[in-house]
Amino acid sequence: MTASPVTASSAPASSVSGLARPTVDALRAKILHHLEYTLAKDAGHSSRYDWRMATSFAIRDEMLKPWFAATRQTYDTGAKRVYYLSMEFLIGRLLEDAMINLGLHETIAAALAAEGQTLSDIIEDEPDAALGNGGLGRLAACFLESMATVGVPAHGYGIRYEHGLFRQRFEGGQQVETPEDWLSQPHPWEFARPEAAYIVGFKGHSELRRGKSVWVPGETVKASAYDTPVVGWQGKWASTLRLWAGLPTTQFDLERFNNGDYTAAAAPEALARTLSRVLYPDDTTPAGKELRLKQEYFMTSAALQDILRRYQSQFSTLADLPKHVAIQLNDTHPAIAGPELMRLLMDQHDMGWDEAQTVARATLGYTNHTLLPEALERWSTYLMGSVLPRHMEIIQRIDEDHAKAHKRPPSVGIVQHNEVKMGDLAFIMSHKVNGVSALHSELVKETVFHDLHKLHPDRITNETNGVTPRRWMRLSNPALSTLLDETIGEGWTRDLDHLKTLEPFAQDAAFREKFAAAKRANKVALAGWVQDTMGIDINPDAMFDIQIKRLHEYKRQLLNCFETIALWHNMRQTPDAGWTPRVKFFGGKSAPGYFVAKEIIHLINDVARTINADPVTGHLLKVVYPPNYNVSMAQRLIPAADLSEQISTAGKEASGTGNMKLTLNGALTIGTLDGANVEIRDLVGADNFFLFGLTADGVEKRRKNINHAREAIEDSQNLRDVLQMIVEGRFSPEEPDRYHGLVDRAWHHDHYLVAADFDSYWEAQRAADALYRTPQDWNRKAILNVARSGFFSSDRTIRGYMADIWDVPSALKD
Ligand code: F58
């Protein structure tokens, strides 16, 4: 490898202020230093992996200054801290994000170029940290970055899963899962903290000693910390992601080993490691329940012990905990925090019951992310009592206290029908409960927490989700970011409300052209990737219509698939009718045990195979379903989207955050009045949004008619044709009856109202087609979508939590 000398040693132009930025030469020297001394490699014989690691270490060094400064300032000022407890952090790749926030993108590119290396290749070499399933986990990652930008002294607590979300492949169109192994290579961003380790117990029994309950666990494991710094925009502040790994508490059994019993000698370690082995991928199978409960308690207990230890190193009175600490529970997964915090305060710190309950409640907040009954956690009292006997006692007494204090209807109660309802536990043990969009927060009051809301009318609040504009615009969409910088200045990156100043440019034909050129460049790049990775030829001038999200019946990928079939069928009949060319993109994984979702994946792939092979419609319609959708793939697809599919059955999608990313990147939405779509439509304007379908109320009413699906199908020639084609085996000639079950369910068990919404969806799609044929109008509306999407920054969401739930000010001056 030939290295060219670096001539420009001055710092390149960048927007970071206040940070002493290294020069190209200094960073080049740092990278070479890490190559030599951290990786023990010679520059001439280094692989892409070596260069990536050395570059990551060089960038990590730059993160330390803001990280130390934030930590020191928080200690020095005794500022209130926020702890975000989450079983998931879907953080994706970290290198480019860190470079961008530190303003070092161009400097690093130049330093690497001087060594004959290409930055984009190095960025692509990093595996995604996929420690989450979907929106809930990605939201946690956006929050960490926003807290670091806004200036919140914050820790995220989670599990350092050895295997993140499974990798998805398609075999014969069917989803096949293989283990994800991001830790098979060292993770350069983390710092092992073996000194921060806590014992976590399970099982055993609770006994009375001198009038006090004491838990004697039957099993113990050690939780050991790994820290990853997260720097905010322009490196002004940083937060910490602390992930726990399971280790054995017993010493290695050398005697057994020497006697040849290797398996038994290794058993304690294997057992402890199962706790941080895999991310729970599934909310549909009963298997693994005990392990999941143990994982939840493992993370929560370690986090709370760590929080109390840090608190006690700074403050003396535990009664003041809520003055200095706010703990947010990301869904019910860490809801055992209520009883665990009480246990620690009472059993280990001698606090009385009432005070412990008051302190715990004032410290905890709970975010609800779903109304789907099957996703609301419940544990059998048997399991809870055997895995966490002391907690079961505490839960029962919390429930009794609550019953005594309030005249409760019989439907209220944490423990019911021999189950512990974790939502009710989280609600009762938190001072604030929030939904994640305006509609969702209202529906929470009317449905899952109807009775509790009546008893505690001030507890439920709303914090509409958001996304970080650093990753979801500046990093993933440089073409549009540069245009925004040139047109309205760089301020939008810190304050997304600046996008409002873009609005007048929607009327400016010259700007519209530039905007369209940025979108087209992104589409050309995506088309190239689709050609290279999937061998499918797509036309960048076709409308790119994108549905990317977890596979779930309520998200209705099936509705999109049916519409695709209908469109193809209509195009074939009249190929010269002036159709708008389209490329339909799907991306997403199904839970491994979710049969119906897997069948939908199979159908979409069969439909794609058939349509993509049709010479009659080849110039009009293609279907692309790249496997293994993840954060990095989202970064590739979103900037290239024209149309954003947000088509869930109204009342089912709590918020959505992909809908926000796509709006921000200039896609128009076709959607139902569900989740945050409602707010998106209000803000971007009804004229700039393709609305269709039943409302949440309408859905409930329609379901009362047991023949709703049959009637809708009988009324729709289009939908009848679609079902007929599927049932005849048109997409599965090798197995014509492959989808008989699916079609039967469409007629008779259409819980998510695909049929009832089909015609209205079809109409909205044709309206989108028509608009796309007038690019001036389409682009004007797309620009208005961007200009009016400032509200959907996760910085705004975080400020909402700070004001309404955490009572925490920003630690930054400006
Ligand atoms: C999602 N929930 C909501 N759950 O579906 C989405 O509307 C919302 O925008 C997002 O949270 C953020 O508020 C979600 O992602 C999960 O991934 C479950 C985690 C536990 C296992 C089962 C899936």
The CA-to-CA distance between both ends of the chain, in Å, stands at 47
Residue 11 is predicted with a pLDDT of 35
Kindly report the number of other CB atoms within 10 A of residue 452's CB atom.
23
Q: Which residue CA neighbors atom 12 of ligand 1 most closely?
A: 136
Residue 10 is predicted with a pLDDT of 35
What six digits make up the tokens of 639? 């900037």
For residue 261, being part of any structural domain is answered with: no
How far apart are the CA of 554 and the centre of ligand 1, in A?
12
pLDDT in tens, 775-809: 999 999 999 999 999 999 999 999 999 999 999 99
Residue 429 is predicted with a pLDDT of 98
Q: Which residue CA neighbors atom 6 of ligand 1 most closely?
A: 656
- Whether the per-residue pLDDT at 6 is higher than 70: the answer is no
Catalytic residues: 369, 549-550, 555, 657, 661
Q: Is the C-beta atom of 653 inside 6 A of ligand 1?
A: yes
Strand partners, 228: 241
φ/ψ of 397, rounded to 5, equals -75, -35
Q: What is the rounded average pLDDT for all residues in the chain?
A: 95
How far apart are the CA of 161 and the centre of ligand 1, in A?
18
What six digits make up the tokens of 98? 């860190």
For residue 782, being part of any structural domain is answered with: yes
pLDDT in tens, 718-733: 999 999 999 999 999 9
Provide CB contacts within 8 A for 27, sequence distance 6+. Answer: 58, 104, 107, 108, 111
DSSP 477: -
pLDDT in tens, 27-67: 999 999 999 999 999 999 999 999 999 999 999 999 999 99
How far apart are the CA of 256 and the centre of ligand 1, in A?
45
Among 138, 164, 144, residue whose Cα is nearest residue 156: 144
Q: Which residue has the higher pLDDT, 7 or 129?
A: 129
Residue 799 is predicted with a pLDDT of 98
Distance CA 478, CA 483 (A): 8
- Whether the per-residue pLDDT at 17 is higher than 80: the answer is no
Residue 444 is predicted with a pLDDT of 98
- Whether the per-residue pLDDT at 283 is higher than 90: the answer is no
Residue 739 belongs to what domain range? Answer: 531-786
pLDDT in tens, 74-121: 999 999 999 999 999 999 999 999 999 999 999 999 999 999 999 999
* Total residues belonging to the chain: 814
- Whether the per-residue pLDDT at 752 is higher than 60: the answer is yes
Question: What crossing angle do the helices spanning 717-727 and 708-715 adopt, rounded to 10°?
Answer: 100
Q: Is the C-beta atom of 280 inside 6 A of ligand 1?
A: yes
Q: Is the C-beta atom of 466 inside 6 A of ligand 1?
A: no
Among all chains, which residue has been given the structure tokens 């996008």?
499
3-state SS string for 604-657 = HHHHHHHHHCCCCCCCCEEEECCCCCCHHHHHHHHHHCCEEEECCCCCCCCCCC
For residue 697, being part of any structural domain is answered with: yes
What six digits make up the tokens of 623? 């279907």
Output the CA–CA distances (angstroms, integers) from residue 204 to 201, 453, 575, 641, in the order listed. 9, 36, 71, 55
Mean pLDDT of 322-342: 98
Kindly report the number of other CB atoms within 10 A of residue 271's CB atom.
13
Q: Is the C-beta atom of 463 inside 6 A of ligand 1?
A: no
Among all chains, which residue has been given the structure tokens 């803001």?
66
For residue 585, being part of any structural domain is answered with: yes
Q: Is the C-beta atom of 283 inside 6 A of ligand 1?
A: yes
pLDDT band with cut points at 50, 70 and 90 for residue 270: confident
Q: Is the C-beta atom of 657 inside 6 A of ligand 1?
A: yes
How far apart are the CA of 657 and the centre of ligand 1, in A?
10
pLDDT in tens, 303-331: 999 999 999 999 999 999 999 999 999 99
pLDDT in tens, 687-706: 999 999 999 999 999 999 99
What six digits make up the tokens of 769? 């087609």
* Long-range Cβ contact pairs of 380-383 (< 8 A, separation 24 or more): 380/418, 380/419, 380/420, 381/415, 381/418, 381/419, 381/420, 382/418, 383/289, 383/290, 383/293
Q: Which residue CA neighbors atom 2 of ligand 1 most closely?
A: 136
Q: Which residue CA neighbors atom 4 of ligand 1 most closely?
A: 136
For residue 568, being part of any structural domain is answered with: yes
What six digits make up the tokens of 527? 């088309």
DSSP per-residue letters across 780-802: HHHHHHHHT-GGGBHHHHHHHHI
Mutation test residue for ligand 1: of 88, 136, 142, 464, the one with most atoms within 8 Å of CB? 136
How far apart are the CA of 369 and the centre of ligand 1, in A?
6
Residue 301 is predicted with a pLDDT of 98
Q: Are 466 and 663 in contact (CB under 8 A)?
A: no
Mean pLDDT of 176-182: 96
Ramachandran area for residue 127 (φ above 0: left; ψ -120 to 50: alpha; else beta): beta
φ/ψ of 5, rounded to 5, equals -70, 145
Q: Which residue CA neighbors atom 21 of ligand 1 most closely?
A: 283
- Ligand 1 atom nearest to CA at 440: 7
How far apart are the CA of 194 and the centre of ligand 1, in A?
32
Number of domains in the chain: 1
Q: Are 548 and 629 in contact (CB under 8 A)?
A: yes
CATH number of the domain that residue 583 is part of: 3.40.50.2000
What ipTM, to 2 d.p.? 0.99
Q: Is the C-beta atom of 246 inside 6 A of ligand 1?
A: no
Distance CA 180, CA 166 (A): 5
pLDDT band with cut points at 50, 70 and 90 for residue 262: confident
Q: Is the C-beta atom of 139 inside 6 A of ligand 1?
A: yes
Q: Are 723 and 746 in contact (CB under 8 A)?
A: yes
Residue 9 is predicted with a pLDDT of 35
How far apart are the CA of 374 and the centre of ligand 1, in A?
13
- Whether the per-residue pLDDT at 415 is higher than 60: the answer is yes
For residue 638, being part of any structural domain is answered with: yes
Distance CA 264, CA 250 (A): 13
Q: Is the C-beta atom of 146 inside 6 A of ligand 1?
A: no
Question: What crossing angle do the helices spanning 740-748 and 595-612 adopt, rounded to 10°?
Answer: 110
Q: Which residue CA neighbors atom 14 of ligand 1 most closely?
A: 136
pTM: 0.97
Distance CA 135, CA 648 (A): 14
How far apart are the CA of 760 and the centre of ligand 1, in A?
27
Q: Is the C-beta atom of 591 inside 6 A of ligand 1?
A: no
Q: Is the C-beta atom of 165 inside 6 A of ligand 1?
A: no
> Where does 223-352 have alpha helices with state H?
254-258, 262-274, 289-314, 321-324, 337-343
